[in-house]
Amino acid sequence: MSTNLFSSLHVGASSVRAHSQGIDVVGQNLANVGTPGHAKRRTDFDTVSLSAGGGVRAGELRAIRNEALETGLRRETSEHASADARASSLSQVDRYFGDGAFEPLSGLLQGFYDSLSAASVDGNLGSRRHDVVAHLDELAAGVRTTASFLRDERRRIDQSLEGGVEDLNSLLQEIAQLNEAIDGEKDGADQQPMLDQLTGRLVELSELVDVHVRVNEAGGRDVSLRSGEPLVLGRSAVSFRSSGNASNAGLSDVLLGGFDLQETDVTASLQGGRLGGLLEARDGSLQGMEQRLDEIVVALADELDTLHAAGLESDGVTPGGPLFEARSTTDPAMDFAVSATLLSDPSRLALGDASDELGNVATLLATRDAGLLDGGTLSARHAFDELSQQVGFDVRQAERERDLRGALLDDALASRELHSGVSIEESSIDLIRYQRGLEAATNLIRQVDEMLDQLMSIGL
């Protein structure tokens, strides 16, 4: 009989150990509610055979992690961060064009044409020449201000990009260090806290740039860009740096120092994430606006210069000189300026021709609706309007993309949380179950102990 009692005592002790471990697991889970990257832990009980003493024991501690869900979360994190960065960057431009203090370039151009029309009917031609030159100077100043604003916005984005490159390097080093720690810890259970940290760092990395992740032989994670360039291989990580590109207004290219020790320009390969969104705004939308503004200015200025040169100045003899100062081929909008000669002496404005002192006005006015762009189908005035409208369109599109990606990210987070996250309700139920099991096992041990005391007291 005492043998059976000792066997029962063994069953009770094993149950105490198992349920105590279960309580510890629940406590660990509850302590990590909301911890980024943490995967809930679970332990199952195994039955111990009678030949081994009977009872139960806690099985291997498992982290409930699903790589497919983690991949989906990283992808949606990257896409949302990209759309958010692009929308935020373009919203600055939208506010500039939508500001009540901003006078549309098409309005400034119309002011120039209105002053030309007034000159053709007003007897005070000297005063009207001054007005024409003044309105033309306002247009040029407005163009320069807009061009400078677009360039400043691209530079502001560039500064954010440089900071993002530093963050990228720090995260890659952390991931490589966690891989090293995981490789050095062979016990699967002891690896789990480091895998939690690694999971969180990979999500942070995805906020910067879209990456591909795979499990390596040591249980860590190897990382590469979406385009295939390796970033982390086991314990080693590459590094990035930014370098000014003279052909892109001195703005930064992103260079990758690869494992082969060769630097590669990967600016075009950085897709998704905050860095991808910033680059798309800087070298896509904003650069496109700059280029379109340059195209409009060159087409308008060239046409007006040509027609002005065909007219005659106020003396009726001297051919008209350039309306505008010489412009650079790289930044014509930023260099757009009325001729200093005209600014100092508006009488040099060539409004006449061989037959009439105002004979060239109608020719200049004809450029108002002339097709100067897009194969002769679009006037400069309408092109200025379309440029402003394009800003609003790009911003609304980026905001819609951000909202859509935000909803998809919420879904991905919910799926990951449902599978791997810690539920307070579920943990509370488990805690009650383990506590009751612990109480039952403790009661069993107490009862067996009392029976053994009784048997010993009667000498059995």
Which pLDDT tens digit goes with each residue over 396-418? 999 999 999 999 999 999 999 88
Taking 70 as the threshold, does the pLDDT of residue 311 lie above it?
A: yes
CA of 260: how far to CAs of 170, 216, 222, 229, in Å? 20, 20, 17, 11
pLDDT score for 307: 95
User: What pLDDT digit, counting tens, does each position of 316-367 carry?
Assistant: 889 999 999 988 888 999 999 999 999 999 989 999 888 888 889 999 999 9
pLDDT score for 122: 65
DSSP, collapsed to helix, strand or coil, labels residue 111 as helix
User: What pLDDT digit, counting tens, does each position of 43-62 carry?
Assistant: 777 666 666 666 666 677 78
Taking 90 as the threshold, does the pLDDT of residue 31 lie above it?
A: no
Are the C-beta atoms of residues 111 and 119 closer than 8 Å to each other?
no
| Residue 73 pLDDT level (bands cut at 50, 70, 90) | very high
Residues 259-269 have a mean pLDDT of 88
Q: 207 or 394: which carries more pLDDT confidence?
A: 207
Cα separation, 82 vs 161, in Å, equals: 12
Cα separation, 124 vs 359, in Å, equals: 16
The proportion of the chain whose per-residue pLDDT surpasses 90, expressed as a percent, equals 55
pLDDT score for 199: 92
Give the relative orientation of helices 273-280 and 125-184 as an angle to the nearest 10 degrees.
Answer: 160
And the tokens for 147?
Answer: 């061009």
**CA nearest to 364, candidates 127, 112, 173, 185:** 112
User: What pLDDT digit, counting tens, does each position of 74-124 carry?
Assistant: 999 999 999 999 999 998 888 787 665 567 899 999 999 999 998 877 656
Q: What is the pTM of this model?
A: 0.83
**Buried/exposed 293-305: b ≥16 CB within 10 Å, e otherwise:** bbbbbbbbbebbb
Radius of gyration from C-alpha coordinates of the chain: 37
| Residue 435 pLDDT level (bands cut at 50, 70, 90) | confident
CA of 34: how far to CAs of 30, 73, 196, in Å? 9, 15, 12
∠ Cα 140 146 148 (to 5°): 100
Cα separation, 448 vs 440, in Å, equals: 12
297-301-302-304 Cα dihedral, nearest 10 degrees: 140
Q: 113 or 258: which carries more pLDDT confidence?
A: 113
> CB burial class (10 A; 0-12, 13-18, 19+) of residue 425?
exposed
pLDDT score for 52: 61
pLDDT score for 204: 96
